[in-house]
Amino acid sequence: MNKTEVNKSISIEAFNYELPNERIAKYPLEKRDDSKLLTWKSGDIADHQFSELAELLPQKCKLVFNNTKVIRARLHFKKETGANIEIFVLDPIEPADYAQNFQQTKSCQWKCIVGNSKKWKTGKLKLQLSIKNEEIELFAENLGNIGTSKTIEFSWNNSSFTFSDILEAAGNIPIPPYLHRESEAIDLNRYQTVYSKIKGSVAAPTAGLHFTDSVFESLQKKNITTAELTLHVGAGTFQPVKSETIDGHEMHTEHIVVDKSFLQNLIESENEIIAVGTTSIRTLESLYWMGFKVYNNLKLLPENLKVEQWEPYSAELKLSRKESLQALIKYMDLNRFEQINSSTQIIIVPGYQFQIIDGMITNFHQPKSTLLLLISAFIGKDWKKIYQHALVNNYRFLSYGDSNLYLK
């Protein structure tokens, strides 16, 4: 196979559209599956309700979900001077493993964004909180810069509680900035999918917010199988593309955790694979390229599994989905891994050839976003027709908005 033809000078302005503020869904609907569902199948557009999903999917297809759970990532401290300091936790540093970090009982370090940082030059911040009627003091210390972020060490004076307990008691759910409101009680439940399990995201995989128990029951009745992976969604998902062309944009890195049994499940699947959300798409496609890398080098160091931003576009060898995933399992067996624990910086733009997925469920995305480029990579210029149809027909946009099903 020749290298994938990709135009890195794609103009971001070509992915702009006018989104009136009143079309952004500020709050979720009362019932998750009452949302609208726009379907696109090889160019044909139709309007449905999300509760009809099972009837609109291909027979015996497999839906792949991202089971990440949003953490209460925003912590608010007040200095003795009265200055308010917000610390937004992004990625664990010490321990670097999410699960281990959340289980720490004395201290831990995180990469963070600090709001009003000019008012906090030195010293520790202190926050009084109560868990199960026990008073706790939480401290935050700035250990230095990591690019535009900071390394923050958190410590607390009661080892009966983990850092996970601390966040649950003191943190706020980090709802998207474009909602232009503070998080409220409703967001604690509704800015999580009903199947969320693994803590680590600072943004929800929003395509999954529409699913309910009754929708899952209808999928089961139609013999549609499901599988779960984990990609912890980073704050970079909201990062606007500021460059004029896509080659000037640095894609954010996100953490992936996938079990070997999941890969075996995909290999055995002979039917269409439908990804629920762009995070599932990015993970599935990244797994293909990880398999591609180890197919050529089974001695690859685990830290080199990470998929770099433009790496998939330099490949000159064609592997089938099955061959790539089998190579990844062989690599795991050789290294005695039961999980792939890695990261991806993959950017999916027009010209990308999808290797794993046959369809997707997704929400409506922001103008001039990398997610809109991903959609265009799958459906081509029809994205404009779809978004215009949605605007004319009163669809609700962005995280708490309505849904799309794209099939080829």
- Quote the DSSP letter at residue 143: E
Distance CA 29, CA 36 (A): 11
Q: Contact 309/251 with Cβ under 8 angstroms?
A: yes
DSSP code of residue 97: S
pLDDT of 2 higher than 90? no
pLDDT of residue 241: 83
Quick one: angle between helices 260-268 and 321-335, nearest 10?
150
Contacts 24+ apart (CB under 8 A), 145-150: 146/111, 148/113, 149/90, 149/111, 149/112, 149/113, 150/111, 150/112, 150/113, 150/114, 150/117
Q: What is the pLDDT of residues 59-106, one digit of tens each?
A: 999 999 999 999 999 999 999 888 999 999 999 999 999 999 999 999
At residue 146, the pLDDT reads 87
Instruction: Please state the rounded mean pLDDT for residues 117-141.
Output: 92
pLDDT single digits (tens) 234-291:
877 767 788 999 999 989 889 999 999 999 999 998 899 999 999 999 999 999 999 9
Is the pTM higher than 0.85? The answer reads yes
Give the pLDDT band (50/70/90) at residue 1. Answer: very low
**Distance from C-alpha of 347 to C-alpha of 373, rounded to nearest angstrom:** 9
Average pLDDT, the chain: 94
In the numeric block, the tokens 């609907």 are attached to 29
Domains, in order of start, for the chain: 12-69+188-407 (3.40.1780.10), 74-171 (no CATH)
Residues 292, 356: Cα–Cα separation, whole Å: 12
**Would you state the structure tokens that stand for residue 114, as one six-digit string?**
């600090």
Q: Are strands 273-276 and 62-66 parallel, antiparallel or unpaired?
A: parallel
In the predicted model, what is the mean pLDDT of residues 118-131?
91
Edge-to-edge strands of the sheet including 134-146?
Answer: 74-78, 84-94, 107-115, 149-156, 134-146, 125-131
Confidence tier at 174 by pLDDT (50, 70, 90): very high
pLDDT tens digits along 276-291: 999 999 999 999 999 9
Cis peptide before 95 (omega within 30 of 0): yes
